[in-house]
Amino acid sequence: MLTDEEIIDGCLEGKPRFQKLLYRKFAPTMFGVCQRYFNSPDQAEDALQEGFIKVFGKLHDFRREGSLEGWIRRIMVTTSLNYHRNNRKHYFLEDVEDLYDGSEDLMFNNDGFTMEDLMKTLRGLPPGYKLVFNLFEIEGYSHKEIGDMLDISVNTSKSQLSKARRMLQRKLLALYDNENPLNNA
Amino acid sequence: MRTKDIGELYRDAFRTYTPTPPSGVWNGVARSLSGKTGGGVAASWVKPLLWTAVAGGLITLAVLLSVPPAEDEDLAPALTTLEPASAEAQDSLSPEVALEASGQTEEVIPSAVPEKRNTAALVREEKTSSAVSTTSPTVATAGGEAVVSPPVPAKSAGTASPAEGKPSAMDRHRLQRTSSSSSAATAIRYSKESTICKGQQLMIGASGGTAYQWSNGSTTDSILISPELTTIYRVTVTRTDQRKVSGEVRVNVHDCSSLFVPNAFTPNADGHNDEFMAYGTGITAFRMVIQSLSGTLLFETSDMAVGWDGTYLGEPAETGAYLYRIDYIDEYGNPGSRNGRLTLLR
């Protein structure tokens, strides 16, 4: 079996078999990443394809210090964000009345929701909320990093995140109430 | 009850979400690769049309056919890291079984859901594999066998998981060869997953060979693992006839220490939800305080089994909102805290 190192070496030598191996190893995870940034499956596929083309094109720059998966994931994220670039300035218009203090966070029983519920609620978020929630909660970037990536302030990133969190909680609660009539015992 | 913060809920679910992309994506990538020998990236790329998808399919197949037979086995398991194809194997993934393995039945459902999708993809990939097999019939023989045994609690032997002592757990965790229904089909594939709590150890093993090579570098037939994160362990077994077969086990790791705090309670002495208390597993130290919105301390406890009965100085407190703060230490020594608002209803 081949290590990431061996796969990278094979790809750098231009061997198609290794290119396909690399793709096979990471494509499902990365497709999962891309899908979170788009409501349309077509766009997620486009981003995935473009992302992998970049991966192969830039592989000689990969310094092999961190994990290959982490490096690929970052490329997928930035590629996905690029698709939003033109519209991004419309995403982060502040609506001040909607501030949130975080004190009412709910905890969720994680067997109450299907993957489809989670994907649907995430996709239903306004685009700015969705980008920030993805980057902060799932990808694990800091507000500072998100600010740089999206060209917004740290405070905007924070407020978008809490709004996203609150909206997701409301959406999930609504699902929970609808689907679990026995819940409110 | 296992509960999660909203961010954790999505994070954990999507971490294991690995949908299979449509084949057109790879075809587009392959086209870009074959179009250039250097490292340059296309400034723009063209989404493949139908005819290019067909051409791409031929390229893919050619690549596979050009692989030496011994390597086919190396390729094949990579197709099926997640979901067994046979009904029998499917059955082994049922929540009851996973409960035996992990003691955490709640963990099973969300992680199983996304992977359902892969079943369809797997069937599609099956065709590619059998195409390979016709060119290299020797691949068709079976090989090693791998076993996952129930997890061993790494710490706190007192918290016995329901898995322990159930002889059936071992048998049912025997890795299933995901044979497709026809015996002519070929690629040897093991596909199995197990779920443990962070900090637990798990023994996984393979048998039926003369040498073993695990993805973590071990060369023994079984390995004791305690991964921090969900990890796929791969083993290549050299059989007595020197052929190599490989299989893999996905070990899902969850943070099982948790605390559930209700949002409301009803101290009306109806025997139901009359006290406000937190519920949790694996909590070794605990302190909860309850305050009014104006900051008056109403209740304090360091015993998780003791809840607030909704009184203050012997008098029923008013209905409405109160604040709680909980500090705790989980079974691995990690401190945590939780605060929020609760509603008193009568």
DSSP B261-297: --SEE--SSSSSS-SB--EEESEEEEEEEEEETT--E
Residues near A104 by Cβ (< 8 Å), separated by ≥ 6?
A166, B340, B341
Percent of all residues in chain B with a pLDDT value above 70, rounded to a whole number: 51
B residues 250-289 lying closer than 8 A (beta carbon) to A? 259-261, 263, 272
CATH class of A4-87: mainly alpha
Q: What is the pLDDT of residues B83-103, one digit of tens each?
A: 333 333 333 322 222 222 333
**Phi, psi of A125, rounded to the nearest 5 degrees:** -70, 150
Asked if A105 lies within 8 A of B9 by C-beta distance, the reply is no
Chosen for mutation from B5, B10, B266 (greatest number of chain A CBs closer than 10 Å) is B10
Residue predicted with more confidence, B266 or B260 = B266
Asked if A53 lies within 8 A of B29 by C-beta distance, the reply is yes
Average pLDDT, chain A: 84
- The per-residue pLDDT for A144 is 93
Task: State mean pLDDT over A40-52.
Answer: 91
Neighbouring C-beta atoms of residue B254, cutoff 10 Å: 22
Asked if B26 lies within 8 A of A27 by C-beta distance, the reply is yes
- The per-residue pLDDT for A93 is 63
Asked if B66 lies within 8 A of A17 by C-beta distance, the reply is yes
- Three-state SS at B237: strand
Whether B158 contacts B282, CB under 8 Å: no
- The per-residue pLDDT for A110 is 60
Q: What is the pLDDT of residues B184-242, one digit of tens each?
A: 222 222 336 677 777 777 777 777 778 888 888 888 887 888 888 888 888 888 877 78
The pLDDT-based confidence of A139 (bands split at 50, 70, 90) is: very high
| pLDDT reading at B4 higher than 80 | no
Chosen for mutation from B1, B3, B4, B9 (greatest number of chain A CBs closer than 10 Å) is B9
Task: State mean pLDDT over A90-100.
Answer: 54
Model ipTM? 0.87
A residues 67-96 lying closer than 8 A (beta carbon) to B? none
CATH topology of domain A91-185: Arc Repressor Mutant, subunit A (1.10.10)
A120 Ramachandran zone, left/alpha/beta (phi>0; psi -120 to 50): alpha
Pinpoint the alpha helices (H) of chain A. Answer: 4-12, 16-35, 41-58, 68-83, 88-91, 115-123, 127-133, 143-150, 154-179
| pLDDT reading at B166 higher than 60 | no
B residues 146-185 lying closer than 8 A (beta carbon) to A? none
Neighbouring C-beta atoms of residue A99, cutoff 10 Å: 10
Taking CA atoms, A37 is separated from A125, A128, A134, A165, B46, in Å, by: 11, 11, 8, 16, 21
- Domain coordinates of chain A in residue numbers? 4-87, 91-185
Whether B192 contacts B146, CB under 8 Å: yes
| pLDDT reading at A58 higher than 80 | yes
The pLDDT-based confidence of B31 (bands split at 50, 70, 90) is: confident
For residues B326 and B80, give the distance between their C-alpha atoms in angstroms, rounded to a whole number.
44
Q: What is the pLDDT of residues A108-122, one digit of tens each?
A: 766 667 888 899 899
Taking CA atoms, A41 is separated from A33, A123, B123, in Å, by: 12, 11, 21
Residue predicted with more confidence, A179 or A56 = A56
A residues 25-54 lying closer than 8 A (beta carbon) to B? 25, 27-29, 31-32, 35-36, 45-46, 48-50, 52-54
Q: What is the pLDDT of residues B111-135, one digit of tens each?
A: 333 333 333 333 333 333 333 333 2
Distance from CA of B8 to the nearest CA of A (A): 7
- The per-residue pLDDT for B133 is 33
Q: Hey, do A4-87 and A91-185 end up sharing a CATH topology, with the first three levels equal?
A: no
